[in-house]
Amino acid sequence: MAVLKALVVDDASFVRDLVKRTVRQRFPVMELTEAANGKRAQSLMSRTTFDLVLCDWEMPEMTGLELLQWMREQPQYQKVPFIMITSRGDKDHVIEAVKQGVSEYLGKPFSPEGLSKKIIKVMGKRLKEAMSRSGKLMASPADAFKESASLLTQKREPAEPPKSPAVAADNPLLRGAASSPSPANKARPAKAPLSVASVRFAESTLRSVVKDITLNEVRVIAKRDQDFPGILDQAVVDIEVAEGQMARLNGYVHQLQAVDKRQDTDFVSVVVRFVDEDPQKLEDLSRFIARFRAGG
């Protein structure tokens, strides 16, 4: 029987589903409600008091930061845990969220284990007691849920930190991908410079070049000697939309395919479907596509 109420806020239904499945699987004492943006969340929070809020940062109508600011002004929500789940992990954004009263900060893509640890940390004794009353056992944060099952993710060794586009452009991976003899490469004239993308997963980062991109998905080419994700794994695609300006696009792995029709191919094609509905992200993506089509 659910005894705690949690609100999941994200404009991407795919991400909301991931959060909900993880919470339901590991914390059955929580009753879940969802909202597609900050305005809807604000309306729900005005009518019902929630014990935990798990929220994205970049959303249309009202951002996660704006919702957090409003929430901390309400007497009933001044001490309620708020976990910011976002692809914006740079230092300035973390500091800003802390100033506004965020309880914890979780970067996208996230693993079920990572999300579970954050929930245990912010809910503490209250969650432990609720689980005990319901007859469920609570794992400690130290070994937080070591069960082998994972939700749409695979356990991998941590990858090296993502390189900036300026550094990655000199990587042999990109020169190799540009000269790959695949039919797809022959069909499109080579672009100069190549459009570099870092595709981040829960526990690895794929260095790649953009082969094709639309408002719905991106196809990248990556060297085979890297750690590859599984189908439906969460992904964040980092692309430079303007000089010094990065877009972080949330999505999931839709397809993995060898570039060449042979078993020892050196390159793999990865298709990531986008899930964001934020108008600003779509505008940034449109600008990148226009530049990409024009040849850089």
- pLDDT recorded at residue 137: 57
Give the model's confidence band at 251: pLDDT under 50 very low, under 70 low, under 90 confident, else very high: very high
pLDDT tens column, 204-240: 999 999 999 999 999 999 999 999 989 999 999 998 8
Q: Is residue 98 predicted with pLDDT exceeding 60?
A: yes
Output the six-digit token pair for 108: 């996208």
Mean pLDDT score of the chain, rounded to an integer?
82
Q: Rounded distance, CA 57 to CA 111, Å?
A: 18
Q: Rounded distance, CA 1 to CA 168, Å?
A: 51
- pLDDT recorded at residue 225: 92
- Which residue spans of the chain are classified as CATH 3.40.50.2300? 4-143
Q: Rounded distance, CA 111 to CA 221, Å?
A: 24
pLDDT tens column, 41-78: 999 999 999 999 999 999 988 999 999 999 999 999 99
Give the model's confidence band at 242: pLDDT under 50 very low, under 70 low, under 90 confident, else very high: confident
Q: Which CATH number is 4-143 given?
A: 3.40.50.2300
Contact criterion met (CB below 8 Å) for 72 and 78 = yes
**pTM as predicted:** 0.71
Q: Which CATH number is 165-293 given?
A: 2.40.10.220
Helix axes 38-47, 64-73, angle to 10 degrees: 20
Q: What percent of the chain shows pLDDT beyond 90? A: 58
Contact criterion met (CB below 8 Å) for 86 and 56 = yes
Of 23, 110, 9, 7, the closest CA to residue 62 belongs to: 9
Q: Is residue 293 predicted with pLDDT exceeding 60?
A: yes
Q: Cα torsion for 19, 147, 28, 88, to the nearest 10°?
A: -20
- Which residue spans of the chain are classified as CATH 2.40.10.220? 165-293
- pLDDT recorded at residue 256: 94
Helices within the chain (DSSP H only): 13-26, 38-47, 64-73, 91-99, 112-133, 165-168, 172-178, 183-187, 279-293
| 258 CA to centre of own chain | 25
Contact criterion met (CB below 8 Å) for 180 and 267 = yes
Helix axes 13-26, 112-133, angle to 10 degrees: 40
| Ramachandran quadrant class, 186 (left: phi over 0; alpha: psi -120 to 50; beta: rest) | alpha
Give the model's confidence band at 182: pLDDT under 50 very low, under 70 low, under 90 confident, else very high: very low
Report the amino acid identity of residue 158: P
